[in-house]
Amino acid sequence: MNTFRKVFLLFSLLITFANLSLAQDTKLNFKLLQLSQQESASHTPIAVLICGDINYLKEELPRLGGTFKFSSGNIISAMVPADRIVSLSLDPHVFRMEEGRLNLQPMNDKMLINNKIDQVQSGISPLMQGYDGLGVIVGIIDTGIDINHPDFKDSLGNTRILWVWDHILTTAPNAPQPFNYGQQFSAADINSGLASATDDLGAHGTHVTGIATSNGNTNAPFKGAAPKADIIAVRLNFNQSDNTWLSSVSDAVKYIFDKADSLNKPCVINISAGTYYGSHDGKDLSSQAIDNLITAQNGRSLVAAAGNAGNIAHHLQHTHSTSGDTLLTWFYKTSAPIYIEMWADTADFKNIRVAIGADVTTPSVKSVAQKPFIGIAGNIGILKNDSIISTSGHRLATYQTYGQLIGNKYSFIYYITPDSAFDYFRLMSKGTGKFDIWSFDMINSGIPAPGFYPNINNYVSPDYNQTICSSFQCSDKVITAGQYVNRNNYIDYNGNLQTFPLTEGALAASSSKGPTRDGRTKPDITATGEYTMSALPISAQAWFIANQPYKLAFDGKHIRDGGTSSAAPAIAGSIALYLQMNPNATWADIKNRITQCATIDLFTGTSLPNNDWGYGKLNAFTLMTGCATSGVSELNNLPFNIYPNPVNNVLKISNDAISKNTIAKIFDIIGTCVYSEKMNTNDLIIETSNIQSGLYLITLTSGEFFGTKKILIQH
C-alpha cells in the first residue's frame, strides 16, 4: 500500500470516528465497534445486522468479502470481515449496523422473577438479608433424582442430597425401617459412589428438584428457589394400584419428615404426582395420614401439584332434582377393564338407583343389553359378580359391584371386563340426588341426534369441572398448586428459537381446577409452570441431544417442562426460604401467608379465591414480608393511592381522577363487601377500626373499573 493511500485511509478513519462521536445517530453499536477494533487486522467474519439499502448491499457485500444471509424489510443479516466493518459503516447506503452474535440466555431466572423469588434471594428491603434455604430440608417425592448432577452438589463437589430412598430397587439390607422395601442411600454413600438410585419417566424428578433447589453449578441462570437447602429424595414406584401407590406416598412423607426431625431441621415436601381417581374430598386414609404428619409439629409444610387435566373432560355429575328422568352416559370399551366409581354424600345417594347396559352404534344406535336398576342398600360391603347378557343371549362382559359407606359418604363401583367386540357400555341413573364420577373413558363427542337415539335427550356429558387430583391434593393441610404460563419462547440446543402460542402470565389451559367434591376451593395458589427450564439427568443428555434437541436449553444439560409439576416446586422452594427465616412456623401460618399475600393482577381478576387461580399467584417476597410491601399486587397503575399500608384504624384513599360517581369498596378475601362509600372529593378517609384484621381488596369504580389494590388491616 503506497504512502498516499495509507495517509488517506488514516485520515478517513479519523474523520469516521470524529463523525461517529459528533453525529446524533451512530451507525455502529458498542459491541460491533469493539469487535471491529479487536479484529482490525483480521478477516474474521462477524455476524452483523445492517439497516440500509437492501439492493445495493446485496451487491456490495460480496465485493467486501462478506456474505448476505437474508433480509427482513430494510434489515439485512450478514457476515462481514472484521477489517471491513468501519469502512462499510462510512457508506451512505448503510444507516445502522449492530453486532449479531447476541449472548442469548435460557432465562430460567424468569421463574425466579415471576414468582418474586429473586427479590428474596437478593434481600430487598424490608428484608434484612438474602435467603437461600440454608438449614432447611426440601423433600422431593417423585420419579427419582440424578444423584450425581452438579446442580445438587456444593462448592467442594459433595452432594447436597442427605438421603435418597428408591422404591423400585429390589429390597436389600439397606431398605429403610420400618418400611422394609426398596433401598436407601446416605450422602456418604453418594459421595463414595456406592449409591445406585436413579431417575426415570423422562427425568421428571430431577427437573422438579432443580426448580426447587438447584444451585446453578452447571449454569448459573438455572438456579432454583432454595439453592442452599438440603435435599431428601424418594423415588416412587408408579406401577402400582392407586391404593398401594397412595400408601407408598404416605410412607415417603413419613420417611422425609422423620429424617428432618432427626437433624432438627424444618422441612417442606414437594409431591408433583397424583391420582385422578377417588373421593376428591381429602378424607381418604392416605390423605388423613399425611395430614397428621404435617400437623404433628411445627416447621413442616407440604406442597402438591393440582394436576394437568384442566382441559380434559373427565368429571361427570348426574343430578336428579325429581325422580322422573333417567340419565345416561356412555363409556368406551377399552383394552383394560372399565372402572366406574361413583362418589356422593349419603344424603345425596340414598335415593339414587343405577344400572348398566350396552349399546351398538352400527348400523344404527340401539340397546343390546340392560341390567336392572339397583340402589346402595343391600350392596354395602358386599362384592357381587354378574354378567351382561345381550338380548340375543350372548355374554358381552362380566362385572363386579361393590358399595362402601365411608363416614358421611357412599362409594359405589362397577368394574366391567368386556369380552365382546362392540361399542359402548351405558351407565344409567334415576331417583333424587346426585353423584360424581372421575374417568377418562367417558364419551363426550360423536353423540347421535335424538332422531337416531331417542334417549339421547337425557345424555349427560363429562365436563371440565373438578379436574383436580384426588387424595392429598384435596386436603386443607396441603398447599395445592395450579400453574400459569411462565414463558412462551426459549433458545434451544441448536440455537433455534422455540415459540409457543401462549400468553405469558395467563392461566395454563391444562392447570387442573377445583373445587373438591365437598365444595372447598382448590387449588390454593398458582405459580409458574409452562415452560420452565431445569436440570436434566446426565445419563439422559446424549439421548435428548440426538433425538429431541428442541426440548433442551443451549447448554444441553437442562430441559424444558411445565405443568403444575413445575409450579409446585417453585412454591416449595419459596416455603424453604420462609422456613429459613421462621423455622418454627406452623403449616397454617405458612398456608395463610402464601395465600393471603398472593399477587392479584389482570389475569387473576379480583373474584378470588376461585377454583382456577386459588388466591392468586405466588409472591415469595410478600410471603416473607407479610404483605407489607406496597404496589406488588396492583392491577394497574391508575391514579389512586392508599396509605398507610398496613393500616390500623384510619385509611386514606387519594384519587386524582375523581368523578362524582366514583365508589370505593372494600372486599374481604372471599369476596364479601365490608365497606362501600361514594367519593365526593379527591380524598376519602375510612375508619377501619370496625373491620376485622386481615387482608382486603380496595376497588374504585366510576361507571368503569378503575383498579384494585391490596390492604392489610392490623389492629
Q: What is the mean pLDDT of residues 185-206?
A: 91
Q: Are strands 683-687 and 650-655 parallel, antiparallel or unpaired?
A: antiparallel
Digit-coded pLDDT (tens) for 211-232: 999 999 988 888 999 999 999 9
Residues 6 or more apart whose CB falls under 8 angstroms from that of 358 comprise: 367, 368, 369, 388, 390, 396, 397, 422, 424, 425, 426
Which whole number is the average pLDDT over 364-378? Answer: 90
CATH topology of domain 634-713: Immunoglobulin-like (2.60.40)
Averaged over 268-285, what is the pLDDT?
A: 92
Rounded Cα distance, 97 and 38, in Å? 17
Any idea which fold 25-99 has?
A: Alpha-Beta Plaits (3.30.70)
Strands 338-345 and 409-418: antiparallel
- DSSP letter string over 595-633? HHT-B--TTT-SS-SBTTTBT-B--HHHHHHTT-SSSTT
Residues 6+ apart with CB under 8 A from 52: 74, 76, 91, 93, 94, 95, 96
Mean pLDDT of 193-205: 87
**Alpha-helical segments (H) within 466-581:** 538-547, 564-581
**Whole-number pLDDT of residue 656:** 61
* 120, three cell numbers: 428474596
pLDDT surpasses 70 at 422: no
Give dist(CA 310, CA 28) in Å, integer. 50
- Whether 25-99 and 109-310+469-596 share one fold: the answer is no
Share of the chain above pLDDT 70, in %: 88
- pLDDT, one tens digit per residue, over 584-626 is 999 999 999 999 899 998 899 888 999 999 999 999 999 998 7
- The helix (H) or strand (E) run that includes residue 113 is helix 109-114
Q: Which is nearest to 122 in space by CA: 678, 475, 591, 577? A: 577
CATH architecture of 109-310+469-596: 3-Layer(aba) Sandwich (3.40)
Query: Distances from the Cα of 398 to the Cαs of 338, 359, 440, 442, in angstroms?
Result: 11, 15, 20, 19
pLDDT in tens, 467-489: 999 999 999 999 999 999 999 98
Beta-carbon contacts of 714 under 8 Å, excluding residues fewer than 6 positions away, are 646, 647, 648, 693
- Check: pTM over 0.85? Answer yes or no: no
Chain centroid offset of residue 280 CA: 20
Q: Provide the 8-state DSSP code for 445.
A: S
What residues does each domain of the chain span?
25-99, 109-310+469-596, 315-454, 634-713
Cell of 55: 439492493
CA-CA distance, 399 to 415, in Å (whole number)? 5
What pLDDT is attached to residue 683? 77
pLDDT score, position 188: 97
Domain range 315-454, CATH architecture: Sandwich (2.60)
Rounded Cα distance between 592 and 594, Å, is 6
